[in-house]
Chains A and B, each alone.
Chain A
Amino acid sequence: MSGKLGGKVALVTGGRGGIGRAICERFIAEGATVFAADLSDTGSMGAASGAAAAFVQLDVTSEDQVKAAMGTVEAAAGKLDVLVNAAGIEIEKTIEHTTLEEWNRCFAVNVTGMFLTSKHALPLMRKAVSGGGTASIINFGSYDGFIADPGLAAYCASKGAVHALTRAMACDHGPEGIRVNAICPGYIDTPMLQCFFAGAGSGGGGRTIEALRDAVRNVHPIRNYGTPTDVANLVNWLASDEARYASGQLWVLDGGLSAQVQQMRL
C-alpha cells in the first residue's frame, strides 16, 4: 500500500460497524493513526480481526462522551486530520408507524451526533492544518437523501439533513483549510442491509429474503451491491491530500442505481 495517509490522525465513528471497520483497516494500511469510536468494542459485527484501530468508547448523542473522546485523541496524538462520521441507524417505518421516540433517536444519532463530533473536533483539526495543508471531515449521507426508499421516512429525512449540514460546514470552515464532504452510498452489503432485507416492515411483500436480495441487486446497472471496501476506497481518497480541492460535495457511490429513472414493471 502506498501510504497515502502517512502522518495523519483519524477518528472514525461507527468504527466497529460494517463500513466503519473497513475504513479503519484501510486507513491503518495507508499509514494513519486511527481511532475507532463506537458504542462497544465489538460493534455490530463481533470481535475485530487483523490490525485493529484503537477503540474509543463513544455514544455520539452524548456531548460529554464526544468531548471525552476528543480528549483521548488530543492526549494520544495532539491533533486530528480526518474525521469520518460513519455512525448511523435506520428506522424501517413510514411516518405513520414511527413513534416520536424513534424519530428523535434517528436524528440524534444520524444528525445531532455528526454536529457534536464535528463541533468538538474543530479545535483539533485546526491544529492539524496549522502548518498548511487541509483537514477532512467525511460525513455519511445516503442516496436516500436524494430519492426515497419506501418505509424509511425518518432515515431519508435524516440523510437529507446530513447533506445540507455537509454543505454548510464546508462553507463555514473551508477558509480555515477544513474540507467537508459527504459520501452517499447506495446498497452496501453490511449487517444493516441484511437487517433491512430480513425486516418484516421493509417492503418484503411476502417474498423470500433471497428473492428480494436478487431483485434489488438486479436493479443496479452494475448488477451488484457495493462492499464496505468500495466505500473505504472513496473515503480514503477524500481523506488524502489528493482530494485537496474537493469540498462541499455529495459523493454518490451506488453502482449507477440513482442515475436511472425508476424501472417501470409494465
Chain B
Amino acid sequence: MTSQGNGLKSKIAVVTGGGRGIGRAVVDRLLADGASVLTCGRGNRPADLAAEVFWVQADVGIAADARTIVASAREAFGEPTILVNNAGVQLTKTVVETTDTDWDLVVGTNCKGMFNMCREVLPFMTEHGGSIVNIGSISGNVSDPKMAIYNASKAFVHGLTRSVAIDHGPKVRCNAICPGWIMTEMAADGFDLARDPARARADAFARHPAGRLGAPDDIANAVAWLVSDQAAFANGQCFVIDGGLTAASPLQPELF
C-alpha cells in the first residue's frame, strides 16, 4: 500500500463492507491518506481492523440500517463527504437456478444497498460537496457465465453511478471502479474448487496482459485517487481496472 500522504486529511469517509478483501484495502488506504473512516458489515467487528476505524454491524440492504450507518458516522466524526459503496455479494447461478431468496440477497445488497446509502448521504453532499465511488465490476459490462443476477446487479451499479452524477452535480461527483479478477479469499476459494487448481490459476493469469490477477490494493489506489481533489473533473464514469483482461477478445485459441 502506497499512501498519498495526508491528501484526505479532515475528510470523513464511509466505506461499506470494509471487513475484508477490497473493502478492507480501501479502508486502510483512506485511513493512511488522513481520512476518518467508518465501515460496516453484517458480522461482528473483525479483530484485526485498525483501532481508529469505526465499525457498525449493519446490512446496507435494509434502509433503517443505512440510516444508522450514516448517523453513526455523523456522531463519531461529522457529516461524511466520501462514500465508497463496496458491500456486495456474489452468486454463481443461472437465472433458472436462482431462487427468490437468492434474488433478495444479491439485489438487496448490491443494488438496494447502494441506493439506500446514496439516498442517506446525498442531501448533505448536494449542498456541501462530496464524492461517491461505487464498486461495480467488469461483469456489469460483459457477462461472466453462471452469474446472471450478479452480472445484472453490477450493470445496475454502473447505471445508478451515471444517474447520481448527472442529478446531483455540480457539487457531488459519482464514479465507479470496475475491478476484474482480484485475488481475494473469494477468488482463492474458487480456484481451490477447480478440477485442476494449478491449471485453472495458470489459465487465469495467462488471460491477463498483466500476467497476474489484481490485488485489493490495486483497487484501493484507484479509489483513493477518485475521492481526492486530484479527480475534480472525473464524474459519471465507470473505470475498469482489470490488468487488461477485457481489452482482449475472450477468444484466445492458444488457451484452449
- The yes or no verdict on A and B being binding partners is yes
The total of Cβ contacts below 8 Å across the A-B interface reads 114
**Which listed residue, A230, A244, A248, touches B218 by the CB 8 Å rule?**
A244
Residue-by-residue, is A170-190 near B (CB-CB < 8 Å gives 1, otherwise 0)? 110111000100000000000
**Which listed residue, A223, A244, A252, touches B170 by the CB 8 Å rule?**
A223
Residue-by-residue, is A213-252 near B (CB-CB < 8 Å gives 1, otherwise 0)? 0000000011110110010011011000111111111011
Q: Are B209 and A260 neighbours in the complex by a CB distance under 8 Å?
A: no
**Which listed residue, A245, A254, A258, touches B241 by the CB 8 Å rule?**
A245
Q: Are A174 and B166 neighbours in the complex by a CB distance under 8 Å?
A: no
Closest to A134 in B: B210
CB distance from A185 to the nearest CB of B (A): 9
Q: Are A171 and B209 neighbours in the complex by a CB distance under 8 Å?
A: yes
CB distance from B87 to the nearest CB of A (A): 22
A50 to B214, CA, bound (A): 39
Closest to B209 in A: A174
CB distance from B223 to the nearest CB of A (A): 11
Q: Which has the most chain B C-beta neighbours within 10 Å: A2, A221, A233?
A: A221
Q: Are A248 and B244 neighbours in the complex by a CB distance under 8 Å?
A: yes
What would 14 A/B residue contacts be, using CB atoms closer than 8 Å? Answer: A170-B247, A171-B209, A221-B170, A227-B233, A230-B233, A233-B231, A234-B231, A241-B2, A242-B2, A245-B215, A248-B247, A252-B237, A256-B166, A259-B235
B residues neighboring A (CB under 8 Å):
2, 4-5, 161-162, 165-166, 169-170, 173, 208-211, 214-215, 218, 221-222, 225, 230-237, 239-248
Q: Other than A171-B244, A174-B243, give 20 A-B pairs with Cβ distance below 8 A.
A: A2-B4, A174-B211, A179-B210, A221-B166, A230-B232, A234-B231, A234-B234, A237-B225, A245-B215, A246-B222, A247-B209, A248-B244, A248-B245, A249-B240, A251-B237, A254-B235, A254-B237, A256-B236, A257-B236, A258-B236
